[in-house]
């Protein structure tokens, strides 16, 4: 089989995979698109907009999606979590576990990471599924031995651009047989990475534009082509295992296809879903806001009806009360109207202006009820959303906030599971690619900058690199050891400040009897735990006091040494005086004996 036929069959197989995924995920992606439109405020159907335009009534909607999404995103940002690698064996595994932990923290504490994580969390809320891709890239810097330094990056893949195996049922989608990421890329930029003869076969992407006269097909100004980045698992009869292939392809040509170089047994992609899996239809994915759609539509309908009622007039009149009914209605509906009616029509109540205040009030009450239903569906309450107006104590408000967070626990847990999933994918990549000497910056819990060096080269007294078996000697080597990942989530609220202060007060009373020397440090911990603004000043005072005590101790020790030396000198002088007297007495005794 020649290469052309082989590539053609591969492209046809990839197309069928994309078509299969599109068929099964079509409803989920349409829901995702609709919820995103609602978040942006595009909530009214075209027929409703047309009716409003004919009435000359302004468009009106109440965006409960945006209100809730802003609050939930803020709550997620304020939550904390601590990631840690644990060595499975004693010795080097345990020692290097701290270094691995620091590297994981550095990879998941960058501006790029938080931007991608924010997008993935937003995708959880709208579509119910979040996708983050890992990539290893060169930093462009070399160590002393010429080894290239590498970093791990992260890319969020929108659900609308992802073609996922619809029959994967593992929580992390590790049993997926294929995955394709659809992109529109500038053709000129592809020449930097792929063979020119292949890139030239790409078909330029076209877009249909429709107006009231005709439909025209035009190409984009930037000259882009639809390209897929994909992964595929193929069972190898020879090796008796699944082999993962990485490919870049389009409908016309395969730009690249090769075995995945990463030492992992799954795609380098973290996929998590928020809702429970439906075994009958695994592709049925629903986000956090799915059940709000009918409620939002009903709220908008109530608003539009109420506004229409307030801007319209409803009359009942007898036929002999006016000369011409149409003329009367047209003139009376004007803002400044002076309308003539027949004699006795008003005094005899032949004309009645029907007010719709009760109907408008009922619509407003229905809107309030629908808002409460929406809060209950999401699991939030007024205290969490910041809409509470009732007067309660601080402790009661905090308890209500904690109760309101229960509904968000599934979203928060899913997001944390993805963080752990990414860390578990990063571990083998760190051990495989982090071979160069590299400095990492870590911020510790005291907001102090710290640095550590991985794969540090050992130098002799002359500054040359030490070697063993012709290989450079390195410390903090990351290529050995086996580790487990733990992810500790810090609760959003840990009780009221007053409760924590009382707890610390009782604890310090107990320690005052058993361990009084620990009270200064415990005071500092109490201030930090209660989020006191003077905690940092307290820390500085304690450190300064330690320095002063150390300095005073050194001075006292020096004074004691000086005093001891002086006493020693006095004692030596006395001894010499006694010796001289003894010698003198001995000399005199000798003379007398003669």
d(CA 116, CA 118): 5
Report which of 460, 449, 303, 442 is spatially closest to residue 371, judged by C-alpha positions: 303
Q: Reduced to 3 states, what is the DSSP secondary structure of residue 152?
A: strand
From start to end of 146-196, where are the E strands? 148-156, 162-164, 178-186
Contact between 237 and 104 (Cβ < 8 Å): no
Furthest C-alpha separation in the chain:
173
Q: What is the pLDDT of residue 226?
A: 93
Question: Average pLDDT per run of 10 along the chain, which is 594 residues long?
Answer: 81 95 95 93 88 84 86 72 68 66 78 90 93 91 81 93 94 93 92 90 75 52 88 91 94 93 92 89 91 91 85 70 74 69 71 75 89 80 60 56 64 87 88 80 49 74 78 70 60 55 80 81 71 64 75 76 82 82 76 66
Q: Token match 């978040």: residue?
A: 39
Q: What is the pLDDT of residue 208?
A: 60
Q: Which pLDDT does position 447 carry in this prediction?
A: 40
Angle between helices 497-514 and 519-529 (to 10 degrees): 170
Q: What is the spatial distance between Cα 547 and Cα 96, in angstroms, rounded to a whole number?
A: 33
Residue pair 120/287 in contact (Cβ under 8 Å)? The answer is: no
Which pLDDT does position 130 carry in this prediction? 94
pLDDT score, position 492: 44
Question: CB neighbours of 127 closer than 8 A, spacing ≥ 6?
Answer: 28, 29, 31, 32, 35, 159, 285, 287
The Cα–Cα gap between 574 and 312 comes to 120
Q: How far, in Å, CA of 362 to CA of 364, rounded?
A: 5
- Backbone phi, then psi, for 69, in 5-degree steps? -65, -40
User: How many Å apart are CA 125 and CA 35, to the nearest integer?
Assistant: 9
Task: Go through 439-460 and write b for each residue having 16 or more CB atoms within 10 A of its CB, e for each that does not.
Answer: ebeeeeeeeeeeebebbbbeee
Backbone torsions φ then ψ of 192, nearest 5 degrees? -75, -20
Question: What are the φ/ψ torsions at residue 247 (nearest 5 degrees)?
Answer: -140, 150
pTM: 0.73
């Amino acid at each position: 089989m020649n290469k052309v036929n082989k590539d053609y069959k591969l492209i046809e197989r990839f197309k069928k995979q994309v078509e299969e995924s599109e068929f099964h995920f079509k409803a989920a992606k349409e829901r995702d698109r609709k919820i995103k439109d609602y978040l942006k405020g595009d909530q009214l159907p075209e027929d409703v907009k047309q009716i409003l335009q004919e009435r000359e009534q302004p468009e009106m909607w109440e965006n409960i999606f945006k209100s809730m999404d802003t609050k939930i995103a803020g709550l997620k940002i304020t939550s904390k979590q601590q990631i840690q690698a644990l060595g499975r064996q004693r010795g080097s595994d345990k020692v290097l576990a701290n270094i691995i932990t620091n590297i994981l923290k550095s990879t998941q504490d960058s501006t790029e990471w938080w931007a991608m994580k924010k997008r993935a969390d937003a995708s959880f809320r709208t579509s119910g599924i979040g996708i983050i891709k890992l990539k290893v890239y060169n930093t462009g810097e070399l160590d002393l031995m010429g080894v290239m330094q590498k970093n791990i990056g992260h890319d969020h893949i929108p659900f609308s651009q992802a073609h996922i195996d619809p029959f994967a049922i593992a929580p992390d989608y590790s049993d997926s047989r294929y995955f394709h990421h659809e992109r529109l890329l500038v053709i000129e930029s592809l020449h930097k990475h792929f063979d020119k003869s292949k890139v030239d076969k790409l078909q330029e992407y076209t877009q249909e534009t429709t107006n009231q006269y005709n439909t025209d097909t035009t190409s984009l100004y930037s000259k882009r082509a639809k390209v897929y980045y994909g992964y595929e698992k193929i069972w190898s009869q020879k090796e008796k295992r699944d082999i993962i292939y990485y490919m870049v392809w389009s409908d016309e040509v395969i730009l690249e296809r090769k075995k995945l170089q990463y030492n992992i047994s799954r795609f380098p992609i973290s996929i998590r879903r928020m809702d429970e899996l439906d075994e009958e239809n695994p592709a049925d994915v629903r986000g956090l806001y799915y059940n709000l759609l009918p409620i939002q539509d009903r709220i908008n309908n109530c608003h539009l009806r109420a506004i229409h009622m307030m801007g319209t007039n409803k009359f009942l009149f007898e036929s002999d009360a006016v000369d011409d009914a149409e003329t009367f209605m047209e003139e009376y509906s004007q803002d400044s109207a002076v309308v003539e009616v027949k004699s006795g029509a008003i005094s005899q109540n032949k004309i009645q202006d029907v007010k719709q205040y009760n109907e408008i009030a009922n619509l407003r009450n229905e809107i309030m009820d629908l808002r409460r239903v929406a809060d209950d569906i999401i699991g939030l309450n007024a205290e969490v959303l910041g809409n509470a107006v009732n007067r309660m104590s601080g402790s009661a408000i905090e308890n209500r906030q904690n109760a309101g967070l229960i509904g968000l626990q599934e979203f928060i847990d899913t997001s944390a599971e993805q963080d752990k999933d990414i860390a578990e994918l990063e571990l083998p990549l760190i051990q495989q690619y982090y071979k160069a000497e590299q400095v990492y910056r870590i911020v510790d819990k005291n907001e102090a900058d710290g640095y550590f060096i991985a794969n540090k080269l050992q130098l002799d007294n002359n500054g040359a690199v030490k070697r063993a078996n012709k290989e450079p000697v390195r410390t903090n080597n990351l290529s050995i050891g086996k580790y487990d990942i733990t992810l500790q989530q810090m609760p959003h609220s840990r009780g009221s400040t007053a409760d924590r202060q009382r707890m610390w007060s009782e604890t310090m009373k107990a320690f005052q009897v058993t361990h009084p020397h620990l009270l200064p440090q415990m005071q500092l911990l109490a201030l930090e735990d209660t989020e006191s603004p003077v905690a940092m000043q307290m820390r500085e005072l304690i450190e300064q006091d330690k320095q002063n005590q150390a300095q005073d101790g050194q001075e006292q020790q020096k004074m004691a040494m000086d005093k001891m030396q002086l006493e020693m000198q006095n004692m030596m002088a006395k001894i010499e005086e006694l010796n001289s007297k003894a010698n003198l007495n001995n000399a005199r005794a000798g003379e007398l004996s003669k």
